[in-house]
Amino acid sequence: MIHLDAVALRLHVNNALSPSIQSYNILMEQEVITLLSSREIEKMRRAGRLAAELLDYLEPLVKPGVSTLKLNDEAERWTQAHGAKSAPLGYHGFPKSICTSVNEVVCHGIPNARQILKDGDIINIDVTLIVEGYHGDTSKMYFVGEPSPLARRLVEVTDKCRQLGIEQVKPGAKIGDIGAAIQDYAESQGFSVVRDFVGHGISNIFHTAPQIPHYGKRGTGKKLRPGMVFTIEPMINEGTWEVEVMKDKWTALTKDRKLSAQCEHTLVVTTSGYEILTQY
């Protein structure tokens, strides 16, 4: 028998999608959740570690006056110098190596020479590196100069949402526990959780099963098992959770043009809980 809640959740995620996001979801190439071997997990560790190091490397470059293209080019150069590949470059037509999502951009912002960071901006940099065929996917928020109190609080809440989601992860817990923990906290702080993009399984495939919604009901969804590897990457909005995708087919914006923040880790379910593979 099919669990109704699980079906409802999947239908909801798929129905809510705009055309470009549908293709993103179709990229969930398989329905079955693969359990990774310890050899594969070791490769995921290497990819995850390098991705985290790249976010650290970029930190001092994020300041007023720099273009998002400059951040992209520095990331690409660093990635090649470390013998890795940028997974986003050419991925279903994505034109650059990293995603740079500033202020009201929810995710998938495209680096651009004409986009110059200014004091008070908040920016998410999302990197995915391929090392020996395996993917490390992680992102964080950076402050450009001094943020407003509201922007700072949104970023702090988003970081805590990810942490609360991660703390749900252990064998026997349900996927819905992750989203419930995130949604409860985000909404208690007066913010909203983006529905149209979800976390994802990841291995030698960039986006695969399972989908990890950042909202939902405790006790619903598939059971977590040791060897599952996926991302948790909540997008938390100041105002409405609704998003719009720009004509470029990638850049997702908040419908009300208020602020959005995101942070991401890749993790593996262990026999006792979880291991973060992209700790920075």
Binding footprint of ligand MF3 on the chain (CB under 6 A): 88, 91, 94, 99, 108, 126, 128, 137, 231, 233, 250, 264
- ∠ at Cα 59 (140, 265), nearest 5°? 25
Q: Looking at beta carbons only, is 34 or 218 nearer to ligand MF3?
A: 34
| Residues ≥6 apart with Cβ < 8 Å to 8 | none
Q: What ranges in the chain are assigned the alpha helix state H?
A: 4-15, 19-26, 38-58, 68-81, 149-166, 175-188
| Residue 91, binding choice from Co ion, ligand MF3, none, Cβ under 5 to 8 Å by partner class | ligand MF3
Q: Looking at beta carbons only, is 108 or 195 nearer to ligand MF3?
A: 108
Site string (250-279) toward Co ion, x via CB under 5 A: --------------x---------------
Q: How far is the CB of 253 from ligand MF3 (least distance, A)?
A: 14
| Residue 196, binding choice from Co ion, ligand MF3, none, Cβ under 5 to 8 Å by partner class | none
Q: How far apart are CA 226 and CA 76, in angstroms?
A: 33
Q: How far is the CB of 38 from Co ion (least distance, A)?
A: 23
Q: How far apart are CA 142 and CA 137, in angstroms?
A: 17
Pick the closest to residue 253 from 229, 279, 235 (CA basis): 235
Q: Under the criterion CB under 5 A, does residue 231 sit at the interface with Co ion? A: yes
Q: How far is the CB of 155 from ligand MF3 (least distance, A)?
A: 17
Q: Under the criterion CB under 5 A, does residue 196 sit at the interface with Co ion? A: no
Q: How far apart are CA 235 and CA 122, in angstroms?
A: 13
